[in-house]
Amino acid sequence: MFSAANGQDFLEFVNRCIKSEIFTIVVDLKNVNFMDSAGLAALVTALKRLRNNEGRLALCSLNGQARMLLEMTNMDTAFDIYTNLEEAKQSLSDPISQE
């Protein structure tokens, strides 16, 4: 589950990453069977914070409900979305894909 209960913890993690000058984060959602609007809001907030620092937030391994929520809100176009973690890591480490 990705919701208000853990969304704040996620944003604190993102803030720590930014302070440590880590500006690319991949969120593996393979074990997330439910995401509510608060979870989506946490992802959008994290995306904005990273982009403000010229960073990237990628999502991978979306299940049906999480993917459906992103598509229904048209947020699937805002995020880099990958089939799995390996694909995300490969794409984000490729200098050509970062243009």
Give the C-alpha separation, 20 to 74, whole Å.
31
pLDDT of residue 94: 67
Give the C-alpha separation, 90 to 75, whole Å.
23
pLDDT of residue 5: 83
pLDDT of residue 98: 47
Q: Which residues of 49-64 are buried (b: 16+ CB within 10 A; e: fewer)?
A: bbeeeebbbbbbbbee
Architecture of domain 4-98: 2-Layer Sandwich (3.30)
**Beta-carbon neighbour count of residue 77 at 10 Å?**
9
> If DSSP codes are grouped into helix, strand and coil, which group holds residue 43?
helix
Instruction: Give every residue of the chain whose pLDDT is below 70, as ranges.
Output: 94-99
